[in-house]
Amino acid sequence: MPVPILGYILGAIVGYLLGSIPTGFLVAKSKGVDIRTIGSGNIGATNVFRALGTPAGVLVLLADAFKGWAAVALVARLIADWSYPAAGPQAREWFRIISGLAAILGHNYTCWLHFKGGKGIATSAGVLIALVPWALLIILGIWIIVFALTRYVSLASLAASAALPFATWITGCSSTLIIITAAMAVLAIFKHKSNIQRLLQGTENRIGGKRNEHASEAPKQTS
């Protein structure tokens, strides 16, 4: 049975374009704000939440997660049905993986903002809902516990990311998905490199705590 290369490429392109929609930037722009010039400069839900309040932050969080879910659950299926209707379970799994990873990369490196985007946590969560829902539940529990103890969104996200491949493994997923989720974890941790530096320096901001002025100087990056 031929490998559906054309379908994989199309899934990657459509998944990337879906993920590249800069939700946080657009929501902030609709309120007359360039989110890249506020706080951390990140276009993700956490910075929107801090800058524009809970309703805007929740909207961005849900929209970013939807992008990831839709890339796997809708885009991959439609393209597989169109380009390779005889695809077996393994080929269809790869359609889902490729479209999902492309959506995360689109969010992290959006072509609409000079390839500078968010950190991909919400979009990754959307992908995981469609790919490995039980593993997502485990790391969501870890995220909640770490955040409740520390009030650091970044530290909670780092802990959840590090646990992801292990959660995928213990929930009985395929070796392919374990490897893919490990790659997703590495990307998420890499995108948090500035947060890691601030955590080590003690200048990272906590949710609900006094804002650290040193950590919120003019935003230096949007990734």
* Confidence class for position 217, pLDDT limits 50, 70, 90: very low
Residue 212 in this model has a pLDDT that exceeds 70: no
Residue 73 in this model has a pLDDT that exceeds 80: yes
pLDDT in tens, 106-138: 999 999 999 999 999 999 999 999 999 999 999
Residue 53 vs residues 21, 34, 160: alpha-carbon distances, Å: 21, 15, 24
* Confidence class for position 211, pLDDT limits 50, 70, 90: low
Residue 1 in this model has a pLDDT that exceeds 50: no
CA torsion, ordered 148, 24, 60, 183, to nearest 10 deg = -70
pLDDT in tens, 41-64: 999 999 999 999 999 999 999 999
Residue 216 in this model has a pLDDT that exceeds 70: no
- What per-residue string of b and e applies to 151-172 under the rule 16 or more CB within 10 Å gives b? ebbbbbbbbbbebbbbbbeebe
| Cα distance between residue 172 and residue 102, in whole Å | 24
**Residue range 10-14: average pLDDT?**
97
pLDDT in tens, 132-155: 999 999 999 999 999 999 999 999
Average pLDDT, the chain: 92
Is-contact 69 129, C-beta < 8 A?
yes
Residue 188 in this model has a pLDDT that exceeds 70: yes
| Cα distance between residue 76 and residue 91, in whole Å | 11
Residue 209 in this model has a pLDDT that exceeds 70: no
pLDDT the model gives residue 93: 94
Residue 181 vs residues 121, 142, 165: alpha-carbon distances, Å: 13, 16, 5
| Cα distance between residue 216 and residue 204, in whole Å | 9
Is-contact 133 172, C-beta < 8 A?
no
pLDDT the model gives residue 214: 46
Q: Cβ neighbours of residue 137 under 8 Å, at least 6 residues apart?
A: none
**Residue 173 structure tokens:** 């997923």
Of 83-87, 150-154, 170-174, the one with minimum mean pLDDT is 83-87
pLDDT the model gives residue 220: 42
Is-contact 115 105, C-beta < 8 A?
no
CA angle 59, 65, 70 (to 5 degrees): 120
